Chain A
């Protein structure tokens, strides 16, 4: 298969190294970091209005985090050697820290926080269910069924602490993904100290938008009224982070244009040709400016509830497309031009291939399936009725 090349590429550069799966990876981890930061709004920053999304945000983060390493794993030439990353991590490599940042975030932050938050429910379920479910819950209790008031109070305090630790961890998780790209001095499209910050804020934008959409979707499925106070608040935070994100991206762009270093002519040509649709049209206009204007409208003008909902859904979907396009433009765009600045290559995505479109779609849907299972196992909704059993258990637990 001949890959079309324009101008001159170093001969080994013609074939792209990082495929659509590596586009997916920062997209998925971004959702994790963003969803977690939304959850921490309620827990640490006492934004009570977003409470209905708290548990959903945590479960969303977990579901996406479980899937996040899969695209990396599938892309490796030797996936069976990936454990070497844990055995002999190279200190000077940004990528080597992945395994540890990932494990830390998954085990020390997300799992612990979810476990502490759900422990009461887990204990109750372990006694109210049968069969395999009972087994699962019993394992999850770790053999301790202490849900006395004091124990729960301790959980609450420890959970708060975990969230506090979790915020910088979430920043680390995604800022570090940006650093993987931003620290490659050989590639002027990536090499920028702003890269981790831009990645972080775009992660928050995508995570908040995801949770907002999922919350509205789940309310629809459960035929429950949407808590508009909650969604309005989430949208407000989405708006603020989006503005910061957009400012940073524009700062990066303006800086590049004004500095116009040796790579500029080459990159400028690329943005105006090969990346025009995905960068200018989809990422900037449709995926950033339009949703900011839409949500901005709800912030300035008092609109009817129905209209607001529609705007949120539209803006949320556009945001997701925009952030995905941003990841695409960074990862794929950074490989389309030659490091000699003399030519351009083409990315041909396979459809049914190990690193093809189909795999990417499966990996995008998979976290939603996992989220479905998690929601079933650990329902994030407050109980409709008061539970006498729980009350009684809690009362008894206390001395």
Chain B
């Protein structure tokens, strides 16, 4: 039987659904995707993060992120047991190329991947004067690139430093939770490329998503809960010194 690899691919049902629309290059999401059936978030397991920077590189390549700006980045914390409130933090080039060996060996050391928290009560969408950024019906905070003024008010309003204005496009940029991927049945570029599974895309509306089991059995935190933004980026093993 003379069958090309490509034909074989189409026969694979799981991949085929997603792949068809990608191949066609049609400007539409997967026709089978229904926004009301999803509520996206992400789980970050700090105990698994090795600071390799795969997520940062993958994000940059997948989303054509301008050098020097980050939709996701990794921070390294060094917390001295004598002063847990004053951690030493570094993130050379967003952790894109990993981290050099630590200079000090005392205390506690760990990595914290960061990205948009896709807050339910997102202060960034609240302040947008024109409605160019919004929480989509499936819970993803997006920016309308054709409507954004570039006033930068949203950048100021984000407590997590997740937004920036692209110097070429002059519009606000941020993590889209790889919306072009998750609507086609794929996972995000950072989750796809995380070698240890420290990042897991989570669909909170899907009762079969492993996130539910995880949330039931672990102590999970969000960043800056006192900001009352209701983030959907859940951290397992988050240290109190992280901010």
Contact = CB atoms under 8 A, between A and B. Distances in A.
Asked if A and B form a direct contact in the complex, defined as CB atoms under 8 angstroms apart, the reply is yes
Interface of A: 8-13, 15, 17-18, 72, 75-78, 81-82, 84-85, 87-90, 92-96, 98, 180, 183-187, 335, 338-342
Contact of A186 (B89, B123, B148, B152): B123
Contacts of B160: 10, 339
A198 B41 CA distance: 40
Interface in B16-58: none
Interface string B134-151: 000000000000011111
Contacts of B93: 11
A90 B150 contact: no
A87 B131 CA distance: 10
Nearest to B70: A11
B33 to A, nearest CB: 26
20 contacts: A8-B91, A11-B91, A12-B155, A12-B161, A18-B156, A77-B152, A85-B130, A85-B149, A90-B131, A92-B127, A93-B128, A94-B127, A95-B153, A96-B130, A98-B129, A185-B123, A186-B156, A187-B156, A339-B160, A342-B87
B161 A10 contact: yes
B159 A88 contact: no
B163 interface: yes
B130 A89 contact: yes
Contacts of A78: 148-150, 170-171
A82 B147 CA distance: 10
B211 to A, nearest CB: 26
Given A10-B160, A342-B89, A88 B130 contact: yes
A89 B87 contact: no
Given A8-B91, A17-B165, A186-B227, A84 B123 contact: no
B162 interface: yes
Interface of B: 68-70, 73, 75, 87-91, 93-94, 114, 123, 126-132, 147-153, 155-165, 169-171, 227, 243
Contacts of A187: 156
Interface residues of B: mostly helix, strand, loop or mixed?
loop
Contacts of B90: 8
B110 to A, nearest CB: 15
A93 B70 CA distance: 25
A69 to B, nearest CB: 12
A62 B175 CA distance: 43
A92 B162 contact: no
Contact of A77 (B69, B70, B149): B149
Given A12-B69, A12-B70, A342-B89, A76 B227 contact: no
B148 A95 contact: no
A15 B167 CA distance: 11
B243 A11 contact: no
A22 B73 CA distance: 29
Contact of B165 (A77, A180, A186): A77
Contacts of A341: 243
Contacts of A15: 164
Contacts of A94: 127
Contacts of B127: 92-95, 183-184
Contact of A185 (B89, B155, B227): B227
Given A78-B148, A95-B153, A88 B91 contact: no
B117 to A, nearest CB: 12
Nearest to B155: A17
B82 to A, nearest CB: 17
B7 to A, nearest CB: 44
B80 to A, nearest CB: 14
B107 to A, nearest CB: 15
Contact of B157 (A8, A76, A96, A184): A184
A168 B241 CA distance: 46
Nearest to A342: B89
Nearest to B164: A12
Sort A-B residue pairs by CB-CB distance and give the 9 closest, nearest first: A77-B150, A77-B170, A10-B161, A186-B159, A96-B129, A8-B89, A95-B129, A17-B152, A12-B164
A11 B131 CA distance: 26
Nearest to A91: B131
A207 B93 CA distance: 46
Contact of B126 (A82, A92, A98): A92
A93 B149 contact: no
Contacts of A18: 152, 156
Contact of B73 (A11, A88, A92, A338): A11
Contacts of B87: 342
Contacts of B159: 185-186, 339
Given A77-B171, A78-B150, A88 B158 contact: no
Nearest to A341: B243
A7 to B, nearest CB: 8
A81 B96 CA distance: 34
Given A12-B69, A76-B149, A81-B149, A17 B126 contact: no
Nearest to B146: A81
A9 B132 CA distance: 27
Nearest to B133: A90
A84 B156 contact: no
Given A186-B156, A186-B158, A77 B148 contact: yes
Given A11-B70, A11-B73, A186-B156, A76 B131 contact: no
Contacts of A95: 127, 129, 151, 153
Contacts of A180: 153
Contacts of A92: 126-127
A96 B149 CA distance: 12
